[in-house]
Amino acid sequence: MARTHAEWKQLAAELKIEGRAFINGAYTASADGRTFECINPANGQKLADIAWAGEADVEAAVRAARAAFDSGKWSDLAPLARGKILKRFAALIREHGDELALLETLDVGKPIGDTTSVDVPGAAYCVEWFAEAIDKIGGEVAPVDPKLVGLVTREAIGVVAAVVPWNFPILMASWKFGPALAAGNAVIVKPSEKSPLTAIRIAQLAKEAGIPDGIFQVLPGAGDVGKALSLHMDIDCLAFTGSTGVGKLIAGYAAQSNLKRVWLELGGKSPNIVLEDCADIAKAARTAAGGIFYNMGEMCTAGSRVLVHRKVKEQFLAEFKKAADGWYPGEPLDPATSMGAIVDKIQYDKVLSYIDKGVSEGASLICGGKATHTDKGLFIEPTALDCQRADMTTCKEEIFGPVLSVITFDDVEEAIRIANDTEYGLAAAVWTANVTTAHQVSRRLRAGTVWVNCYDEGGDMNFPFGGFKQSGNGRDKSLHALEKYTELKSTLIKL
Ligand code: NAP
Ligand code: MG
């Protein structure tokens, strides 16, 4: 049964929060005793002191991961057996769904309606999906000389570090550890300092499910922990989701150390194109509002640039303004809230400064533009800017907040040119009633995902997710994700 706002507040008041790292099967304070504060962005209150992993903790975790991997107690299990344990892990995540959703909402300000329906069930689904897949895929027998048998197999890489962001903490982590564990690796998760709580909590559930000590570990801390993992000589693979800037640093760290495999899911500035022949402008406008305001706009795939044909612009903006009203921010623990708090003061100031910058460069406000305070919380109105030119700052840079830039165009060629004129290539969308136009435009959009007459659809795990250009490399989700966490081995047997 759905809980009320009062019930969630009561549960929050009773919650016991674990803040220690999880190393070699046990919760552990950092070796040097250092901690940092975890703050609820909806009211500024401290939630917990969190262990800040230092060099000694990184060493201990990597050593435990290596020993656990080399022992074969996980990698040498039959895939079916590994899958069974992972399914138990997924079931435990579901069983503790309310607690995990509450932790996530308190930690980062997401609406409880989202964490209970998307983030936590999505993470359980991901783990379960890879658990079910892993005993259903096999290698190849290569068509080599008949005097030989040529086997092509995939084996676990070894020790995988997952450095993940704060916008979907448990979900983005699961997109890494789900396939990495299924493939037989040992995984060390480094959550963002802005969002450590769910990763820390599920470590205990992983152990309860039967995942051996050292195979699933969590090292909270700031960027220095991610850096230490990226530079480590005994980590085989670094799976990263975060900003393009940090992604570049991580690629450099791998080059400076052991050339570990690096997989990068990075930022975006995704175009959402409304063509003149769009069949349902009101729906396009409603969907565009969801595309930028869902999760406070803290979305790598946010449809942060709407490109709209001049002839339908007026109608589109009228519908968009109506839709934006439905995204007015509210208390994250209230199930009626659609938009919650901005994750922290740094991000909040950054978003507000982008709005100022847009206005100072000549954009006019279509809606929003201001902060809305409740109880020291960090809330920003759903905001849209009518931009005179496609090269204005808010049209170029990833804001990662509830701020849309609207750009007007006169023909399809111009729309495609503007859409592709970005360093990013994560997602794009096009609205048209013409199936030929839909195919032609989507082929020419340089993006990892293209939506036609929708946005952000496709929660299915069987659909790959990742970027072109500086939005990264490799793909999360789908069987393709397993490619990131396995090495291809060719074995030739002379008969
Ligand atoms: P971020 O600042 O790049 O941080 C991501 C992770 O890297 C965090 O755990 C962070 O730790 C860590 N980190 C920071 N500095 C590091 C360093 N020098 N070496 C190694 N690790 C380091 O990104 P964010 O602000 O958390 O997340 C927002 C970004 O993620 C946006 O650009 C968004 O588009 C992108 N994103 C992409 C996808 C995708 O799938 N493509 C999905 C979600 C988000 P601390 O936070 O503790 O400093
Ligand atoms: Mg927090």
pLDDT digits (tens, 9 = 90+) for 369-418: 999 866 679 999 999 999 999 999 999 999 999 999 999 999 999 999 99
What integer pLDDT is reported at residue 1 of this predicted model? 72
Distances (CA, A) of 395 to 139, 176, 389, 457: 46, 30, 8, 23
What percentage of the chain has pLDDT greater than the value 90? 98
Per the domain annotation, does 89 fall within a domain? yes
Mean pLDDT of 405-433: 98
Per the domain annotation, does 467 fall within a domain? no
What percentage of the chain has pLDDT greater than the value 70? 99
Q: Does the annotation mark 300 as catalytic?
A: yes
Q: Is the CB of residue 382 less than 8 Å from the CB of residue 368?
A: yes
Per the domain annotation, does 488 fall within a domain? no
**Both 278 and 245 in a single domain?**
no
The one-letter code for the residue type at 114 is D
Q: Is the CB of residue 482 less than 8 Å from the CB of residue 182?
A: yes
| Rounded-to-integer distance, Cα 181 and Cα 196, Å | 20
Last residue of a domain, one of 218, 235, 266: 266
**Both 337 and 235 in a single domain?**
no
299 C-alpha to center of ligand 1: Å?
12
Per the domain annotation, does 399 fall within a domain? yes
The one-letter code for the residue type at 247 is G
Nearest CA to ligand 1 atom 21: 226
Nearest CA to ligand 1 atom 32: 243
**Domain of residue 411, CATH code:** 3.40.309.10
Task: Name, in order, each residue with C-beta under 8 angstroms of 176's C-beta and a sequence gap of 6 or more.
Answer: 160, 162, 164, 187, 189, 239, 241, 476
Q: What is the pTM of this model?
A: 0.98
Which tens digits make up the pLDDT trace of 272-316? 999 999 999 999 999 999 999 999 999 999 999 999 999 999 999
314 C-alpha to center of ligand 1: Å?
37
Mean pLDDT of 150-155: 97
Last residue of a domain, one of 247, 266, 285: 266
The number of the ligand 1 atom at minimal distance from the alpha carbon of 244 is 32
**Both 301 and 237 in a single domain?**
no
By residue range, what is the domain housing residue 370?
271-459
**Domain of residue 86, CATH code:** 3.40.605.10
Nearest CA to ligand 1 atom 42: 300
Burial class (CB in 10 A: 0-12, 13-18, 19+), 193: buried
What integer pLDDT is reported at residue 175 of this predicted model? 98
Per the domain annotation, does 492 fall within a domain? no
**Both 391 and 242 in a single domain?**
no
Per the domain annotation, does 480 fall within a domain? no
**Both 249 and 288 in a single domain?**
no
Per the domain annotation, does 482 fall within a domain? no
**Ligand number, closest to the Cα atom of 106:** 2
Which residues are within 5 Å of ligand 2 (an ion), measured at CB?
A: 38, 107
Q: Is the CB of residue 295 less than 8 Å from the CB of residue 167?
A: yes
Per the domain annotation, does 157 fall within a domain? yes
Using the structure block, give the residue that is written with the tokens 């990892």.
448
Which tens digits make up the pLDDT trace of 158-199? 999 999 999 999 999 999 999 999 999 999 999 999 999 999
Burial class (CB in 10 A: 0-12, 13-18, 19+), 159: buried
| Rounded-to-integer distance, Cα 393 and Cα 304, Å | 12
**Both 443 and 344 in a single domain?**
yes
Nearest to 117 by CA among 171, 194, 177: 171
The one-letter code for the residue type at 321 is K
**Both 328 and 260 in a single domain?**
no
Token pair of 19 as six digits: 């803040």
What integer pLDDT is reported at residue 458 of this predicted model? 80
Mean pLDDT of 103-130: 98
What integer pLDDT is reported at residue 372 of this predicted model? 86
Q: Ligand 1 pocket: which residues have CB below 6 Å?
A: 163-167, 172, 190, 192-194, 222-223, 226-227, 230, 241-243, 246, 249-250, 265-268, 300, 398, 400, 426, 467, 471-472
**Both 250 and 307 in a single domain?**
no
Domain count across the chain:
2
Q: What is the DSSP string of 74-126?
A: TTTS-HHHHHHHHHHHHHHHHHTHHHHHHHHHHHH---HHHIIIIIHHHHHHH
Alpha helix (H) residue ranges in 301-397:
310-325, 345-360, 393-396
**Both 314 and 440 in a single domain?**
yes
The number of the ligand 1 atom at minimal distance from the alpha carbon of 193 is 47
Task: Name, in order, each residue with C-beta under 8 angstroms of 311's C-beta and a sequence gap of 6 or more.
Answer: 276
241 C-alpha to center of ligand 1: Å?
6
| Rounded-to-integer distance, Cα 297 and Cα 292, Å | 5
**Both 224 and 184 in a single domain?**
yes
**Both 214 and 281 in a single domain?**
no
Which tens digits make up the pLDDT trace of 443-476? 999 999 999 999 999 879 999 999 999 999 999 9
Which phi and psi (to 5°) does residue 476 adopt? -85, 165
Which phi and psi (to 5°) does residue 306 adopt? -95, 125
- Distance separating the N- and C-terminal Cα atoms of the chain: 64
300, 367, 387, 395: which one is catalytic? Answer: 300
What integer pLDDT is reported at residue 375 of this predicted model? 66
**Ligand number, closest to the Cα atom of 103:** 2
What integer pLDDT is reported at residue 252 of this predicted model? 98
Mean pLDDT of 322-337: 97
Task: Name, in order, each residue with C-beta under 8 angstroms of 380's C-beta and a sequence gap of 6 or more.
Answer: 296, 329, 342, 348, 351, 352, 368, 370, 371, 372, 401, 402
H-helix or E-strand spanning residue 131: helix 120-133
**Ligand number, closest to the Cα atom of 17:** 2
Q: Is the CB of residue 393 less than 8 Å from the CB of residue 358?
A: yes
Task: Report whether pLDDT(357) > 80.
Answer: yes
Task: Report whether pLDDT(254) > 70.
Answer: yes
What integer pLDDT is reported at residue 119 of this predicted model? 98
What integer pLDDT is reported at residue 379 of this predicted model? 96
Q: Is the CB of residue 184 less than 8 Å from the CB of residue 160?
A: no
What integer pLDDT is reported at residue 374 of this predicted model? 63
**Both 225 and 277 in a single domain?**
no
| Rounded-to-integer distance, Cα 350 and Cα 249, Å | 21
Burial class (CB in 10 A: 0-12, 13-18, 19+), 46: exposed
- Residue 40: strand, helix, or coil: coil
Average pLDDT for the chain: 97
Last residue of a domain, one of 242, 266, 290: 266
